[in-house]
Structure 1
Amino acid sequence: MSLFWRIFLLNALVLAVATAVLLWAPVTVSVPILLTEAVVLTGGLIVMLLANAVLLRIGLAPLERLTRMMTTIDLLRPGQRLPVTGHGGIPDLLRTFNEMLDRLEAERSTSNARALSAQEAERRRIAQELHDEVGQSLTAVLLELKRVADRAPEDLLEDLGHAQETTRGSLDEVRRLARRLRPGVLEDLGLVSALTSLATEFSTHTGMTVRRRFPPGLPPLDREVELVLYRVAQEGLTNVARHAEASTAEVSLRRTADCVELRITDDGLGPGIVREGAGIRGMRERALLVGARLSIGPRPGGGTEVLLQVPVDVPSDAPSSGDRTPTGTGDRNE
Structure 2
Amino acid sequence: MAITASMVAELRAKTDAPMMECKKALTEAEGDMVRAEEILRVKLGNKASKAAARVTAEGVIAAAVSGSTGALVEVNCETDFVSKNDLFLAFVQSCAQLVAEHNPADVTALSALPLAMEDFGPTVEDVRKGLIGKNGENMTIRRFKRYEGGGQLAHYLHGVRIGVIVEFEGDAVAAKDAAMHIAAMKPAALSSAEVPAELVEKERKIAAEKAAESGKPAEIVAKMVEGSVQKFLKEVSLLDQVFVKAADGKQTVGRMLDEKKTRVAGFTLYVVGEGIEKKADDFAAEVAARFRADDQRLAAADATETIEEEFGGVDGSHTFLTTKGCLKIAGELRGVFAIARDISARKDAELRLRRLSGFYNALAQTNHAIMHAESADEMLVRACQIVVDHGGVSGAWIGLLDAAGWLRVAAEHGMAKTYLGGLRISIDGQQEEGHGPVGTAMRAGSIAVCNDYLADPRTRPWQERARAAGISASAALPVRRGGEVVGAFCLYAGQVGFFDQALIELLGELASDISFALDNFDADSRRQRAEADLRSARDRLHELSARLIGVQEAERRRLARDLHDDIGQNLTMIKIVLHGLARWGAGGDAEAVREAGEIADRTLQRVRALSVALRPPQLDDLGLVPALRAHLDSTCRHAGIKATLVADECPAHLPEEIGIACFRIAQEALNNVVRHAGATAVALELRLADGALRLSLRDDGHGFDVPAALTSATRGQSLGLLSMQERAELVGGQLTVSSGAAGSEVRASLPLAEATL
Partner of 2:729: 288
SS of the residue aligned with 2:686? strand
In structure 1, give the amino acid aligned to 2:681.
T
Distance between the aligned counterparts of 2:734 and 2:679, measured in 1? 25
Match 1:279 to one of 705, 710, 720: 720
Match 2:744 to one of 294, 304, 307: 304
Matches within 5 A, 1:1-334: 87-153=520-586, 161-216=594-649, 220-272=653-705, 275-276=712-713, 277-298=718-739, 302-314=742-754
How much does 1:285 deviate? 2.5
How much does 1:197 deviate? 1.2
How much does 1:313 deviate? 4.1
Give the direction of change, closer, same or farther, for the CA distance of 1:202–1:100 in structure 2 (3 Å limit).
same
SS of the residue aligned with 1:270? coil
Distance between the aligned counterparts of 1:152 and 1:92, measured in 2? 85
In the alignment, is the contact (CA less than 8 A) between 2:668 and 2:724 conserved in 1? yes
Distance between the aligned counterparts of 2:587 and 2:652, measured in 1? 61
Partner of 1:56: none
In structure 1, give the amino acid aligned to 2:743.
G
Deviation string, structure 1 residues 220-246 (Cα, Å, up to 9, x no partner): 521211111111111211222222222
Distance between the aligned counterparts of 2:747 and 2:729, measured in 1? 14
Distance between the aligned counterparts of 1:134 and 1:112, measured in 2? 31
How much does 1:145 deviate? 2.0
Give the direction of change, closer, same or farther, for the CA distance of 1:118–1:87 in structure 2 (3 Å limit).
same
Distance between the aligned counterparts of 2:616 and 2:529, measured in 1? 44
Deviation string, structure 1 residues 161-201 (Cα, Å, up to 9, x no partner): 55433322221121121122122211221111111111112
Deviation string, structure 1 residues 268-326 (Cα, Å, up to 9, x no partner): 23233864323333222222221110122215x522211111122438xx86xxxxxxx
How much does 1:156 deviate? 6.6
How much does 1:98 deviate? 2.4
Structure with greater strand share of residues: 2
- Higher-Rg structure is 2
**What residue ranges of structure 2 are gaps of 5+ in the alignment?**
1-479, 485-518
Distance between the aligned counterparts of 1:3 and 1:183, measured in 2? 62
SS of the residue aligned with 1:221? coil
In the alignment, is the contact (CA less than 8 A) between 1:3 and 1:88 conserved in 2? no
SS of the residue aligned with 2:682? strand
SS of the residue aligned with 2:610? helix
Distance between the aligned counterparts of 2:586 and 2:688, measured in 1? 63
**What residue ranges of structure 1 are gaps of 5+ in the alignment?**
6-85, 320-334
In the alignment, is the contact (CA less than 8 A) between 2:625 and 2:650 conserved in 1? no
State the Cα RMSD in Å: 2.9
In the alignment, is the contact (CA less than 8 A) between 1:270 and 1:298 conserved in 2? yes
SS of the residue aligned with 1:296? strand
SS of the residue aligned with 1:246? coil
Distance between the aligned counterparts of 1:263 and 1:158, measured in 2? 51
Partner of 2:15: none
How many pairs were matched up?
236
In the alignment, is the contact (CA less than 8 A) between 1:292 and 1:308 conserved in 2? yes
Give the direction of change, closer, same or farther, for the CA distance of 1:3–1:199 in structure 2 (3 Å limit).
farther
Deviation string, structure 1 residues 208-267 (Cα, Å, up to 9, x no partner): 222111134768521211111111111211222222222222211012223211111222
In structure 2, give the amino acid aligned to 1:270.
G
SS of the residue aligned with 1:200? helix
SS of the residue aligned with 2:637? helix
Moved more, 228-237 or 269-278: 269-278
Distance between the aligned counterparts of 2:650 and 2:659, measured in 1? 15
SS of the residue aligned with 2:702? coil
How much does 1:104 deviate? 1.7
Answer 1 or 2: higher relative contact order, Cα 8 Å, separation at least 6: 1
Deviation string, structure 1 residues 20-57 (Cα, Å, up to 9, x no partner): xxxxxxxxxxxxxxxxxxxxxxxxxxxxxxxxxxxxxx
How much does 1:160 deviate? 5.0
Give the direction of change, closer, same or farther, for the CA distance of 1:4–1:197 in structure 2 (3 Å limit).
farther
In structure 2, give the amino acid aligned to 1:116.
I
Distance between the aligned counterparts of 1:169 and 1:208, measured in 2? 25
Identity in percent: 31
Distance between the aligned counterparts of 1:179 and 1:308, measured in 2? 23
Distance between the aligned counterparts of 2:678 and 2:483, measured in 1? 58
Distance between the aligned counterparts of 2:564 and 2:620, measured in 1? 17
Structure with greater helix share of residues: 1
Partner of 2:61: none
How much does 1:128 deviate? 1.8
Q: TM-score, normalised by structure 2?
A: 0.29
In the alignment, is the contact (CA less than 8 A) between 1:218 and 1:255 conserved in 2? no
